[in-house]
């Protein structure tokens, strides 16, 4: 155990913080004394990702179309991901597949690598390049999983991207990749997960906001009740349960622990992360998929002065700048503040950018992409509720008793979902009827 502790301490990225236990020390203190669990080979189709994992290996827009069944990972995750990347760069599915295969097999792909890759390209090729590394050297660091209660399946604690790489390899090469090395633990540890996230990849702003919310909920769980992740149709609403700082204040002595676990520089950043929990849903999703850092979003929030309309305009300008689309904005916008410590930037460098003929304006893309996805999610949720109600009809002594609290809750959820579908239907009709060419479908 001592050797393990020494090894962890040598690699700590938080050694400069005085009087605060490092994330590794906290992790070691919480680890069992009898050493790591043995490595097992587990079928990748018996493993599910953690839905509340702060770092999204798969973009939310792709994840929204997945039914949650591992058998459909190729058709509902990988294939749409390929198509989304192809749409970004003007390639069809087969061309994308050829590029992916070339990278995995160590050949020279017919692909222009960008210093500023677009969202789907960046997220996809992190998995593709990891798959290539695993194929060449095998998996060095096993994933950690735990058994889901009342189920024969497992859920990932750490290693979602490695698990996805195995699915990609199984899709490309078929045989030999259906089982992944894994350590089966008794229960997940979100503090260990936080350390793993910070060690493997610098989290973007939205991922850090998710991480902050998860850890704070864990700290407050003894005195506060929080709804389960699966109770929310919009994933942001789950984390936003702790968005109210006056109601869910950080207990004395816990601020430094959070700073260390998330990998922040000072406690003031905790307040900034909490503010992100209140972002408009469109910005929350797009900023996550674009991998934006806290400094950039913090600057936009400060410039907006709490005005959501102004915030959306600032966001659209920033996204257009990233996409290489000409725009005109006042000096002082935030696109130069991608680093957390960068001062307020200017829009001067954007004046010479060429417009991209293949990309719709950001405002149009936000309306045309996010709203239909919300509509689709509500429809799927309504379908699940319909099935649940149908099942109740066949439960002995139930007969949809209106006084049964479970039935009341189920029917209320069903009614709310139907209202959301009706509202989004009206919004979609309004969108389709708009005559503004810049926002045309």
Hey, what long-range contacts does 98-101 have (CB within 8 A, 24 or more apart)?
A: 100/124, 100/128, 100/168, 100/172, 101/172
- Give SS3 for 269: helix
Query: Checking DSSP bridges between strand 39-43 and strand 179-185, what pairing results, if any?
Result: antiparallel
For 374-417, write each residue's pLDDT tens digit: 566 666 666 666 666 655 554 444 455 556 666 666 666 666 66
Q: At residue 49, does pLDDT exceed 50?
A: yes
Summary mean pLDDT of the chain: 76
In 3-state terms, what secondary structure has residue 72?
Answer: helix
Read off the pLDDT of each residue in 225-239 and give the average, rounded to a whole number: 92
Question: Which pLDDT belongs to residue 275?
Answer: 93
Task: Using the Cα atoms of residue 354, residue 356, residue 361 and residue 362 in order, give the sign of their dihedral.
Answer: negative
**386: helix, strand or coil:** helix
CA atoms within 13 A on the CB side of 403: 1
Per DSSP, 224 falls in state -
Angle at 63 between CA 60 and CA 66, to 5 degrees: 160
Q: Is the pLDDT of residue 167 over 80?
A: yes
Q: pTM for this one?
A: 0.66
Please, are residues 372 and 428 in contact by the beta-carbon 8 Å criterion?
yes
193 pLDDT band, cuts 50/70/90, is confident
247, two tokens: 């109601």
Tokens representing 278? 């209140």
Mean pLDDT for 215-227 is: 94
Q: Averaged over 292-307, what is the pLDDT? A: 89
Average pLDDT for 328-356: 38
- Residues 270 and 255: beta-carbon distance below 8 Å: yes
């Amino acid at each position: 155990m001592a050797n393990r502790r020494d090894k962890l301490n040598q690699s700590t990225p938080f050694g400069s913080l005085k009087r605060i236990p490092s994330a590794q020390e906290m992790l070691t203190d919480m680890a069992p004394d009898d050493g790591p669990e043995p490595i097992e080979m587990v079928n990748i189709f018996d493993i599910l990702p953690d839905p509340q994992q702060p770092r999204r290996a798969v973009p939310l827009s792709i994840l929204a179309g997945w039914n949650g069944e591992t058998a459909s990972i190729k058709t509902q995750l990988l294939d749409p991901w390929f198509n989304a990347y192809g749409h970004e760069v003007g390639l069809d599915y087969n061309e994308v597949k050829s590029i992916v295969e070339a990278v995995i097999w160590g050949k020279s792909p017919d692909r222009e690598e960008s210093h500023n890759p677009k969202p789907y390209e960046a997220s996809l090729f992190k998995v593709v390049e990891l798959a290539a590394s695993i194929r060449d050297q095998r998996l060095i660091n096993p994933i950690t999983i735990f058994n889901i209660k009342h189920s024969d399946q497992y859920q990932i604690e750490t290693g979602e991207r490695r698990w996805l790489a195995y699915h990609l390899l199984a899709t490309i090469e078929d045989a030999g990749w259906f089982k992944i090395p894994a350590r089966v633990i008794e229960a997940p540890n979100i503090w260990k997960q936080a350390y793993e996230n910070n060690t493997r990849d610098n989290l973007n702003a939205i991922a850090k906001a998710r991480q902050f919310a998860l850890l704070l909920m864990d700290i407050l769980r003894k005195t506060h009740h929080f709804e389960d992740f699966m109770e929310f149709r919009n994933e942001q609403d789950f984390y936003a349960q702790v968005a109210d700082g006056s109601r869910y204040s950080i207990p004395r002595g816990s601020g430094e622990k959070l700073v260390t676990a998330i990998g922040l520089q000072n406690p003031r950043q905790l307040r900034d992360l909490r503010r992100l929990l209140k972002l408009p849903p469109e910005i929350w999703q797009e900023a996550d998929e674009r991998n934006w850092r806290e400094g950039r979003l913090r600057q936009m929030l400060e410039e907006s002065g709490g005005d959501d309309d102004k915030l959306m305009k600032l966001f659209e300008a920033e996204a257009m700048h990233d996409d290489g689309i000409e725009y005109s904005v006042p000096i002082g916008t935030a696109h130069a503040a991608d680093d957390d410590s960068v001062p307020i930037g200017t829009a001067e460098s954007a004046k010479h950018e060429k417009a991209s003929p293949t990309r719709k304006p950001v405002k149009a893309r936000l309306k045309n992409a996010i709203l239909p996805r919300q509509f689709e999610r509500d429809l799927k949720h309504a379908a699940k509720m319909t099935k649940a109600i149908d099942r109740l009809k066949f439960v002995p002594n139930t007969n949809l008793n209106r006084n049964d609290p479970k039935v009341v809750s189920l029917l209320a959820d069903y009614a709310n979902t139907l209202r959301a579908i009706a509202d989004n239907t009206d919004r979609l009709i309004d969108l389709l009827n708009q005559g503004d060419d810049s926002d045309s479908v």
